[in-house]
Chains A and B, each alone.
Chain A
Amino acid sequence: MNKIEFMLNGEKIEVWANAHKTLLELLREDLGIKSPKCGCDLGDCGACTVFLDGKSVRSCLILVPEVNGCDVVTLEGIMRPNLTKLQQFFLDHNSFQCGFCAPGMVLSATELLQKNPTPTLEEIKEGLSGNLCRCTGYTPIINAVADAVATTVATTINE
């Protein structure tokens, strides 16, 4: 067992955990944070996406000791406590079906717009290509992000 200290959604966490544990397991099983999902446990699907020191990672590929001293943010942590603007666009576009991929997808899209607030359609697709969704065919997800980009750009211009 290792003692791990890190920030989780702005709160200081101290836990004893087995070094073989993944961040995904730690979050879900020990800390009750259920928005990151396990879709493959192999780094293929992106359902387990969280932010680690501001960058999106697949929490199923991160071992617990690696997060010592780091800042971890999950979907729970980006809502304070209301929906983010981007989430609102997803909602208004009926973007998700089963919703299992949604937490990972929302985080990836959030990161995409943080890095590049005015992505082209191709850049949106590229930015979300690490998150698998089997239900939606991606179109309503991409449309929501594109709409968010267009609206934000429009409001910025108007302001």
Chain B
Amino acid sequence: MEFSFIGKSHLRVDGKEKITGSAKFVDDLDFGANLLYAEIVESPHAHALIVDIDISTALASPGVIKVITGKDFPYRFGLYMQDRYIFACERVRFVGEQVAAVIARDPVSAKRAAKLVRVKYQPLPAILNVEDALAAETTLLHPELENYQHVPWFFPAAGTNIAHLRKIRKHDAIDAIDAIDDTDAMFADADLVLEDRYTVPRYAHCAIECHGAIGLYDHAKRLTIWSASQSPHTQRNLFAQALAPLGLTHKDVRVIAPCVGGGFGGKAGVSMEILAAALATTVPGRPVKILWSRAQEFYNTYQRPGVVATIKMGVKRDGTITALEQNLYWDSGAYVEYGSNVVNAAGLSATGPYRIEKVKINSYAIYTNLPPGGPYRGFGYSEFIFGLESHINEVAKRLQIDPILLRKRNAIREGDQLAYGAKMNTNGLIEAIEKVEQEMDKMDKMDKIRPHSHPHSLSQSSNRCYGKGFALFWKAPAMPPNASSSAIIKFNEDASINILVSAVELGQGFFTVMAQIAAEVLQISMDKIRVETPDTDRNPYEWQTVASHITWSTGNAVFKAATDIRDQIFTLISREFQKDVKDVSDLYLFEESVRSHSNPHFKVAYQDFVISGISMPDGTFRGGPLLGRGSFMPEFSTAISDPETGQGGKPNVHYTVGASAAMIEIDKESGKITIPKVVLAIDCGKAINPQLVQGQVYGGMLQGLATVLYENMHFDESGRQLNANFTDYKIPTTLDIPEEIVAIIVESAQKDGPFGARGMGEHTMIPAAPIIANAVEDALGIRIRSMPITAEKIVAALKHNLNRDLGPEPYEPYEPYPRTEPRPLSEEALAAPIISGQ
């Protein structure tokens, strides 16, 4: 089908605003001379009981209006599990946690007074890694775990530090599920069994705009929050729930999200914004502003959780994967109200994009006295894909099968059974693999240009060597089954339109994509469309701008709203122009006017009726202002399944899949890796705007490369983050980019997506870690099993020529997991021919 707007790389509708500095971010809004400023008092302890808080000196300090502590707001909140207070009550659980806040007339007075709040603590043992958290005689972070409210698909283990355990047990012969718990039986028919352990540390989102929020509680008891948020409606919901004891209802709470300076998951859900909401209620009539510093942005927002993954894979001689066991021990931090769902999502999908007969997965959300783990672009997938895709190469090496061939042989196809029993959606995984392979062939030619470029060049005299790495990836939106979107479209006199939605333009290009969808249905030029930033009072409901579900879900809502208007137009025109046109089916829209198939001369311009109504010969008017509405909810989704096996639900609406590869150059002396070329092919169903898709590949890939090459959070033995700034936590600059990034779009239409589209924003960072790890192995024969793969690790590995991971490890495993040698191939297996080709 020929489209006028879909599939075209239109310029961003918000481009001018951004290029001129006109875009208003939350800290750019003016609130006048009445504005107050809040500063929090932070816990210096990773784990302690709060014995006493003395606010008297702070209160007497100049400029101070109020000092607020946990006693003022003893209310729990949370997205999936209510395990947190607005201010720490009774107990602090990470360094930097908010214990109290000072509201003052200016930021300097607030800061000064915050230092004068005296808090007496009784320190408790700090649990700083998953091993300690799971030890037999451990200290519990949340003794009241069993009383916490949570969604029905979470399974906290009372009396432990396990906030949630997602179990998956799958055997394609259904009645054999019980046998899955017998791990030996599960691997009995494999020719080769290989197990290993991979570790991933914590990471920070590092959106350049820090969190910030302004709350205003007026004398009529209306609470308005302006916040840098990915989740305005979810914030309204959680604010209204948490502050219900004050008599607030949802209609009294209004959240306004202006332009947001990057999110990457960090601004999803509710974190520091609830402070603005709570504090505002204590100073009626005066707006209160709270802004996070860059340091707080690191240690008091969600962090990407760390994970220790043990993986065991059984394969046949021909490369068929028969069984997979994975244990994911997540360092989920002090509160898991959101982060538990990362653990859940990873547990459901830890097979990667493979069809595997027998699966056993345990994914543990583990409380530790580190900042709350939460959503981060990739939502747990980047973490397990590092281990899984590294491991597959190790398996292939032992089978002496090409690792890409092994992946092709096991690649999941439409209709295959997923680990939790539901069926896999349409996907272009094989096409993506083949397209990346073609680009890799070109890398070989690049090799030839360079003199010392052969893989496995350890023996070379040159200091430089090259390697190639390949990996697959997938990801599904992780959401409650009823996560929904809605849209309203209204016409203006000149036939321009405003699209009201409540998803957030974080930079991903959402506004432009929504405009293109509406433009296509209504045949209106792009420059006549405005998409509005969210205001929960005015714009219709949106769950959250997360999970890469917006193009699909909000896109469907906008598509429906546009179709709704179109149908109203057809009904009106066919009724009022009966003499000129046959019926509704005779009409179509073209260039901002209504046309007729049967009557080529017929043309009614939108601007002649969309607001004014159709002018009749008798001086009356017909019609009225046109308004379209659309709602979308994935009505087929359910998160309810058997807790022991995970079977029976349909928790994921669909997966987006792809393949990626890198060519790297390593300086053996310094260990430094440079990247001549990266390729990523992704099946986004339909690229509504190919240039924006490409933009996600460039941005996501670099973010991912940084996690595998150098980014890393460091904590001292008391749980304090040591590198909470951009000098010590280095994020990439222009000097750190690959020489070439090739973005390849694959399109196998998502049947329930707008014009066939499905999301792809997070996915582009997911394969970054394993493509580098596999390329390092290709170049040097060294398998590095802990991220990041720094220059130091490479140099040390070369020095010791160790084919194993390098200490000190950021984490120790829960159950010390011997890195076993693979079970040797059996006699019969060795005799069996290796099938080549696919």
Tell me if B209 and A39 are in contact (CB < 8 A).
yes
Q: 1/0 per position for A57-87, CB-CB distance to B under 8 A?
A: 0000000000000000011100100010001
Q: 1/0 per position for A89-103, CB-CB distance to B under 8 A?
A: 011101111111111
Q: With A94-B12, A132-B733 known to touch, is A99 a contact of B23 (CB < 8 Å)?
A: yes
Q: B822 on the interface (CB 8 Å rule)?
A: no
Q: A44 on the interface (CB 8 Å rule)?
A: yes
Tell me if A140 and B698 are in contact (CB < 8 A).
yes
A39 in complex: contacting residue of B208, B260, B264, B702, CB < 8 Å: B208
Q: B653 on the interface (CB 8 Å rule)?
A: no
A139 in complex: contacting residue of B23, B205, B737, CB < 8 Å: B737
Interface residues of B in 497-528 (CB under 8 A from A): 506-509
Taking the nearest CB of chain B, how far is it from the CB of A140, in angstroms?
A: 6
Q: B751 on the interface (CB 8 Å rule)?
A: no
Which residues of A have CB within 8 Å of B260?
98
Tell me if A83 and B262 are in contact (CB < 8 A).
no
Q: B15 on the interface (CB 8 Å rule)?
A: yes
Tell me if A135 and B699 are in contact (CB < 8 A).
yes
Q: B438 on the interface (CB 8 Å rule)?
A: no
Which residues of A have CB within 8 Å of B261?
37, 98-100
Tell me if B737 and A137 are in contact (CB < 8 A).
yes
Tell me if B209 and A34 are in contact (CB < 8 A).
no
Taking the nearest CB of chain B, how far is it from the CB of A37, in angstroms?
A: 7
Tell me if A40 and B726 are in contact (CB < 8 A).
yes
Tell me if A137 and B20 are in contact (CB < 8 A).
no
Which residues of A have CB within 8 Å of B701?
137
Tell me if A138 and B19 are in contact (CB < 8 A).
no
Q: 1/0 per position for A122-138, CB-CB distance to B under 8 A?
A: 00111011111111111
The chain A residue sitting closest to B727, CB to CB, is A44
How many angstroms between the C-alpha atoms of A102 and B507 in the bound complex? Answer: 12
Q: B25 on the interface (CB 8 Å rule)?
A: yes
How many angstroms between the C-alpha atoms of A159 and B17 in the bound complex? Answer: 33
A126 in complex: contacting residue of B205, B725, B735, CB < 8 Å: B735
How many angstroms between the C-alpha atoms of A103 and B259 in the bound complex? Answer: 14
Which residues of A have CB within 8 Å of B509?
94, 97
How many angstroms between the C-alpha atoms of A42 and B296 in the bound complex? Answer: 13
Tell me if B208 and A134 are in contact (CB < 8 A).
yes
Taking the nearest CB of chain A, how far is it from the CB of B763, in angstroms?
A: 14
Taking the nearest CB of chain A, how far is it from the CB of B172, in angstroms?
A: 41
Taking the nearest CB of chain A, how far is it from the CB of B558, in angstroms?
A: 20
Interface residues of A in 11-54 (CB under 8 A from B): 20, 28, 32, 34-35, 37-42, 44-45, 47
Tell me if A96 and B15 are in contact (CB < 8 A).
yes
Which residues of A have CB within 8 Å of B699?
97, 134-137
Q: With A37-B209, A134-B207, A138-B702 known to touch, is A129 a contact of B733 (CB < 8 Å)?
A: yes
Tell me if A40 and B725 are in contact (CB < 8 A).
yes
Taking the nearest CB of chain A, how far is it from the CB of B268, in angstroms?
A: 15
Q: With A87-B19, A133-B208 known to touch, is A140 a contact of B695 (CB < 8 Å)?
A: yes
How many angstroms between the C-alpha atoms of A138 and B726 in the bound complex? Answer: 17
How many angstroms between the C-alpha atoms of A94 and B511 in the bound complex? Answer: 13
Q: B427 on the interface (CB 8 Å rule)?
A: no
Which residues of A have CB within 8 Å of B25?
37, 100
Q: A149 on the interface (CB 8 Å rule)?
A: no
Q: B21 on the interface (CB 8 Å rule)?
A: yes
Q: A8 on the interface (CB 8 Å rule)?
A: no
How many angstroms between the C-alpha atoms of A106 and B294 in the bound complex? Answer: 22
Q: B533 on the interface (CB 8 Å rule)?
A: no
Q: A142 on the interface (CB 8 Å rule)?
A: yes
A96 in complex: contacting residue of B19, B28, B697, B734, CB < 8 Å: B19
Q: With A34-B21, A137-B699 known to touch, is A96 a contact of B507 (CB < 8 Å)?
A: yes
Q: With A37-B25, A44-B725, A137-B701 known to touch, is A98 a contact of B741 (CB < 8 Å)?
A: no
Which residues of A have CB within 8 Å of B9?
94
Which residues of A have CB within 8 Å of B507?
96-99, 135
Which residues of A have CB within 8 Å of B698?
136-140
Which residues of A have CB within 8 Å of B108?
20
B20 in complex: contacting residue of A87, A92, A101, A141, CB < 8 Å: A87
Which residues of A have CB within 8 Å of B691?
94
Tell me if B21 and A35 are in contact (CB < 8 A).
yes
The chain A residue sitting closest to B291, CB to CB, is A38
Q: B206 on the interface (CB 8 Å rule)?
A: yes
Interface residues of B in 7-42 (CB under 8 A from A): 9, 11-12, 14-21, 23-25, 27-28, 30
B726 in complex: contacting residue of A32, A34, A44, CB < 8 Å: A44
Tell me if A100 and B262 are in contact (CB < 8 A).
yes
- Tell me if B's interface is mostly helix, strand, loop or mixed: loop
Tell me if B262 and A97 are in contact (CB < 8 A).
yes
Interface centre among A125, A139, A140 (most CB of B within 10 A): A139
Which residues of B have CB within 8 Å of A28?
27-28
The chain A residue sitting closest to B729, CB to CB, is A44
The chain B residue sitting closest to A99, CB to CB, is B18
Which residues of A have CB within 8 Å of B741?
137, 139
How many angstroms between the C-alpha atoms of A128 and B25 in the bound complex? Answer: 23
How many angstroms between the C-alpha atoms of A99 and B19 in the bound complex? Answer: 7
How many angstroms between the C-alpha atoms of A45 and B210 in the bound complex? Answer: 12
The chain A residue sitting closest to B294, CB to CB, is A40
Tell me if B19 and A83 are in contact (CB < 8 A).
yes
Q: B216 on the interface (CB 8 Å rule)?
A: no
Which residues of B have CB within 8 Å of A32?
30
Taking the nearest CB of chain B, how far is it from the CB of A86, in angstroms?
A: 10
Which residues of A have CB within 8 Å of B737?
125, 137-139, 142
How many angstroms between the C-alpha atoms of A83 and B692 in the bound complex? Answer: 22
Which residues of A have CB within 8 Å of B21?
34-35, 74-76, 102-103, 106
Q: B293 on the interface (CB 8 Å rule)?
A: yes
Tell me if B506 and A98 are in contact (CB < 8 A).
yes
Taking the nearest CB of chain B, how far is it from the CB of A43, in angstroms?
A: 9
How many angstroms between the C-alpha atoms of A91 and B14 in the bound complex? Answer: 10
Interface residues of B in 205-233 (CB under 8 A from A): 205-210
Q: 1/0 per position for B681-720, CB-CB distance to A under 8 A?
A: 0000000000110010111111100000000000000000
Which residues of A have CB within 8 Å of B14?
99
How many angstroms between the C-alpha atoms of A97 and B698 in the bound complex? Answer: 11
How many angstroms between the C-alpha atoms of A79 and B9 in the bound complex? Answer: 26
The chain A residue sitting closest to B705, CB to CB, is A137
Taking the nearest CB of chain B, how far is it from the CB of A68, in angstroms?
A: 22
How many angstroms between the C-alpha atoms of A125 and B736 in the bound complex? Answer: 9
Taking the nearest CB of chain A, how far is it from the CB of B203, in angstroms?
A: 12
How many angstroms between the C-alpha atoms of A25 and B18 in the bound complex? Answer: 21
Q: With A34-B28, A40-B294, A98-B261 known to touch, is A125 a contact of B209 (CB < 8 Å)?
A: no
Which residues of B have CB within 8 Å of A128?
733-734
Taking the nearest CB of chain B, how far is it from the CB of A124, in angstroms?
A: 8
The chain A residue sitting closest to B260, CB to CB, is A98
Tell me if B15 and A94 are in contact (CB < 8 A).
yes
The chain B residue sitting closest to A95, CB to CB, is B19
Which residues of B have CB within 8 Å of A44?
294, 725-727
Taking the nearest CB of chain A, how far is it from the CB of B422, in angstroms?
A: 33
Q: With A37-B25, A97-B699 known to touch, is A102 a contact of B19 (CB < 8 Å)?
A: yes
How many angstroms between the C-alpha atoms of A47 and B16 in the bound complex? Answer: 18
Which residues of A have CB within 8 Å of B697?
137
Which residues of A have CB within 8 Å of B20?
35, 75, 79, 83, 87
The chain A residue sitting closest to B692, CB to CB, is A94
How many angstroms between the C-alpha atoms of A47 and B27 in the bound complex? Answer: 13
Which A residues form the contact surface with B (CB < 8 A)?
20, 28, 32, 34-35, 37-42, 44-45, 47, 74-76, 79, 83, 87, 90-92, 94-103, 106, 124-126, 128-142
CB-based closest 10 A-B pairs? A99-B18, A97-B507, A35-B21, A100-B261, A98-B507, A137-B698, A44-B726, A137-B702, A103-B21, A34-B28
17 contacts between A and B (CB under 8 A): A40-B294, A40-B725, A42-B726, A91-B15, A91-B16, A94-B691, A96-B19, A98-B259, A98-B261, A100-B262, A129-B735, A131-B733, A131-B734, A137-B702, A137-B737, A138-B733, A142-B734
Which B residues form the contact surface with A (CB < 8 A)?
9, 11-12, 14-21, 23-25, 27-28, 30, 108, 205-210, 259-262, 264, 293-294, 506-509, 691-692, 695, 697-703, 725-727, 731-735, 737, 741
